[in-house]
Amino acid sequence: MQRIAVVGGGAAAACVVESLARTVREPCALTVLDGGGPLWRGRAYQPDSGRVLTNIHITQMSLRERDADHALRWLTRRAPGSVDDDGLTSRSLYGAYLDDTASRAWRRLAGRGWRLRTVREHVTRLLPDGDGVSVGTAGGRCERFEHVVLCTGPTVPGDPYGLATSPRYVATPFPLARALATVPPDERVGVLGSGLTALDIVAELVARGHRSAIVLASRGGVLPAVRRRSSPDRPRHLTLTCLERNVAAGKPFRTADLLKLLRDELRTAGVGEAGVLRELALTEPAVERLRRQLRDADDAGLGILRQALHRFAGHAWNLLPDAEKAALWQRHGRAVTSLCCPMPQHRAELLLRLLESGQLQLLGGLSGVVPRPPGGFDLVTRDAVAGVGTLFNALNPAAPGTGAPSVPEVFVTRRLDIGHPLGGLRTDRTTHRVPGAHNGRSGLYALGHSTRGSVLFQFGMPSLVYQSGLVARAIAACTDTPWEPDAPTWSAQGQGDPGG
């Protein structure tokens, strides 16, 4: 009986268990190790206020690789009316879907003779040896497995301003219902970051009747783009067929090739380049950009750019040389994150209303945060200092090349030369297997945040479902005949919406 360990028991682990149950026929011994949160929900989908919503369409958040409506059917049955017109639902309910689906997969495996167990301990050491991996825990266990899947998720957001011990600093804001419960409605509140997590905090504060100012402060001062409802026509140039043609011709794929495909796409659609370049350069003031995007919700150039990022960029990224990836991310990473993690229209309208009324302030160019005894903080930019009381950390680890490594990742990269130059572990794009010593084969696989150097959009549910399918098929190939002989190839299956 082959032994499989899943390190981390959050949303990615739920994807792995579901994929194993659908793909691997031969009974194996499966161990899930997680020393922290509730199994299968991870950090993002814990029980919380029903107003804290998912940020991508529910049909892109199915745990089943080839059944896009699975999550929607579950929610419709269990909580009728819980999916809004944008296809979004409460993160807490989605967590219940993850929990139920993974638990059912677990029971199916048990019924088929798998030996299953969970170990509630933190993993501190991973050591590929031969074609297996030794796993060590903080509690002193050490066991060897033929296959180990690393799913430790994003590390808790960092503490770049050294505030961890300051009173009234909230390092991790989730669950929001608990984190916001003690904030007085007349206190000036600060939020570090201006992405989706920051906006969740703003919306929840306002829904709870917060009356005083809320200050969003970050270095970039960039807000998420406004989500579109309509999709552009099918792409003609930014397609996987075009990429495959490039691969088949044995030509290296470079940034210039990517830009040429984008230009060809815009030309074919009769759309000028100026709007797209402006989106990528992010030179417009944030509030003007928000107003424009709300006004021109169906701008064709923006639609083409977003479609390219969702359906194509992840695959193109895999083919680019590392140095060009790093340069592209440095120039356009903020714009890409903003476009790929958009906010729904109703949230954008709320934000604009708050900004125009002055209740919400957006500070870009944050250079420091100074605690103000006995409680409170000064948020410092080149032009201003804003005083706030409670301060929430809404900084998310961004991809790629940023975000702290997990403990097992640090251990394994110190021992072996398997780190990716842009962070995380090197992984094979068709199996998500991490290379062994001297580029040999190992039994270690990585999913999600630990692949942040290799994979462009590694953290959203569509990507995790896709990656877990690859891992399950790679494990099945070592154990038995896969159940799904028509398994999609990398080119047929998108990495989908980045989510997050």
Ligand X SMILES: Cc1cc2nc3c(=O)[nH]c(=O)nc-3n(C[C@H](O)[C@H](O)[C@H](O)COP(=O)(O)OP(=O)(O)OC[C@H]3O[C@@H](n4cnc5c(N)ncnc54)[C@H](O)[C@@H]3O)c2cc1C
Which C-beta is closer to ligand X: that of 87 or that of 365?
87
Distance in angstroms (rounded) separating the CA atoms of residues 411 and 144: 16
3-state SS class at 22: helix
| Beta strand residue intervals within 23-71, DSSP E | 29-33
- Listed residue (32, 39, 30) closest to 112, CA to CA: 30
CA distances from 94 to 23, 41, 388, 423, 500 (A): 24, 9, 33, 29, 14
Characterise 373 by phi-psi region: left (phi > 0), alpha (psi -120 to 50), beta (else). beta
Which C-beta is closer to ligand X: that of 407 or that of 425?
407
The distance of closest approach from Cβ of residue 89 to ligand X in the complex, given in angstroms and rounded to an integer, is 9
DSSP label at residue 10: S
Task: Give residues with Cβ within 8 angstroms of 171, minimum separation 6.
Answer: 156, 157, 159, 163, 164, 393
Which C-beta is closer to ligand X: that of 148 or that of 351?
148
The distance of closest approach from Cβ of residue 313 to ligand X in the complex, given in angstroms and rounded to an integer, is 16
The distance of closest approach from Cβ of residue 174 to ligand X in the complex, given in angstroms and rounded to an integer, is 6
Q: Residue 61: how many CB atoms within 10 A of its CB?
A: 30
Task: Give residues with Cβ within 8 angstroms of 353, minimum separation 6.
Answer: none
Which C-beta is closer to ligand X: that of 391 or that of 407?
407
Residues that bind ligand X (CB under 6 A): 7-13, 33-37, 42-44, 54-56, 61, 122-123, 151-154, 174, 197, 396, 406-408, 448-449, 459-461, 499-500
The distance of closest approach from Cβ of residue 398 to ligand X in the complex, given in angstroms and rounded to an integer, is 11
The distance of closest approach from Cβ of residue 162 to ligand X in the complex, given in angstroms and rounded to an integer, is 22
Which C-beta is closer to ligand X: that of 237 or that of 347?
347
Q: Which residue is nearest to ligand X (CB)?
A: 42
The distance of closest approach from Cβ of residue 196 to ligand X in the complex, given in angstroms and rounded to an integer, is 7
Which C-beta is closer to ligand X: that of 132 or that of 154?
154
Cα angle: 279, vertex 284, 287; to 5 degrees: 110
Which C-beta is closer to ligand X: that of 345 or that of 381?
345
Cβ(54)–Cβ(94) below 8 Å: yes
The distance of closest approach from Cβ of residue 434 to ligand X in the complex, given in angstroms and rounded to an integer, is 16
3-state SS class at 226: strand
The distance of closest approach from Cβ of residue 122 to ligand X in the complex, given in angstroms and rounded to an integer, is 4
Cβ(226)–Cβ(196) below 8 Å: no
Cβ(380)–Cβ(369) below 8 Å: yes
Which C-beta is closer to ligand X: that of 10 or that of 376?
10
The distance of closest approach from Cβ of residue 426 to ligand X in the complex, given in angstroms and rounded to an integer, is 18
Task: Give the bridge partners for 320, in sequence order.
Answer: none
Angle, in degrees to the nearest 10, between helices 300-311 and 322-340: 120
Task: Give residues with Cβ within 8 angstroms of 22, minimum separation 6.
Answer: 64, 65, 105, 472, 483, 484
The distance of closest approach from Cβ of residue 366 to ligand X in the complex, given in angstroms and rounded to an integer, is 20
Which C-beta is closer to ligand X: that of 206 or that of 461?
461
Which C-beta is closer to ligand X: that of 403 or that of 448?
448
CA distances from 9 to 93, 120, 140 (A): 18, 9, 19
